[in-house]
Amino acid sequence: PLRPIWELHLRDTIINQGGDGFYYMTGSSGDNIWDITSGIELWRSQDLKKWDYLGLVWSFVKDATWEKNARYVWAPEIHYVRGNYYFAYCVSGGQGGGTGILKSSTGKPEGPYVYALASGQRVGGGIDATLFEDDDGSVYFASGGAGSIRKMLPDMSGFDGPAHSITFEKPADGSWTRNNIAQEGASLFKHTGIYYLGGAGFYQGRYSSVVAMSTNIFGPYTNWHEAVPCGG
C-alpha cells in the first residue's frame, strides 16, 4: 500500500540516480511556490525509503545572477550527465523569468552550483526545463511543452547549433489541438531505441501525462497518446 514517507511540501518531484549510486530528489519546494521560494533544495537516499536532507544547494540570496529579480524556482531537475551534476530549472515571478542550467563546481551533488552556460544568459522564456543524455553521451535540452530540442556542446557550456522544432502526428480524432506535444513539464527518455518525448497537459478534462514516440530524437514523432491519465 502507498504510505507517505514524511510531511513535506514538494511539487514537481523528480528522483534521479547519481554517479555514486545514491538517489537524489528535488522539486518545487516551499509552503507557497506561487509566491516565493528560497531556491533549490536537495535530498539523498540509498534505498528510496530513508532520505537525508542535503540543504539549500542554490539560493536566490547567495547565488542568483540573471535570476535575481525573480521570486521562485519551479520544477528543478537534478541530472548526472557527462560525469557531473547539473540542474535544469526555471524561475518566474517578480521581474524575471526563464529557464537555465546549473553545474556543480566541485563535482559533488551538493554543489556549490554555478551557471553552466558561458553566455551567462538564460536559455529563454518558459518553464519546466529538462536534460537527457543519449547512449553516445550527447546531451539534449528541452523545456515547456516540448516544442523544441537543443543539443548541448560536449562541455555543456552552450548549445551545438539552433533549436530543432518538433513536429508530431496529432490524434486523428482531433482530441489534441495544441501545436506542441505537451502543455508543460517537458520530459524525454529512451527505451529500446525509441525516444519518448512528452510532458503534462489538459486532455479531455484530465490533467495527464502525454507522450509521442520516434526513432530519431529530433522527430518527427508519432503515436501521440495519453500515457498516464490524471498523471500530469
Q: What are the 10-residue block averages of pLDDT along the chain, 232 residues in total?
A: 85 96 97 95 96 97 96 97 98 92 98 98 94 98 98 98 97 96 98 98 97 98 97 93
Q: How far is CA 120 from CA 60, 101, 114, 158, in A?
A: 16, 10, 10, 10
> What is the pLDDT, as a whole number, of residue 96?
82
All three cell numbers of 186, joined, read: 517537458
Helix extents (H) in 149-222: none
Question: What is 20-43 written as a DSSP string?
Answer: TS-EEEEEEESS-TTT---EEEEE
- Separation between Cα atoms, residue 160 and residue 132, nearest integer Å: 15
pLDDT of residue 7: 86
Q: How high is the pLDDT of residue 175?
A: 96
Q: Is 35 left (phi over 0), alpha (psi -120 to 50) or beta?
A: alpha
Tell me the whole-structure pTM to 2 decimals. 0.95
Q: How far apart are CA 84 and CA 93, in angstroms?
A: 29
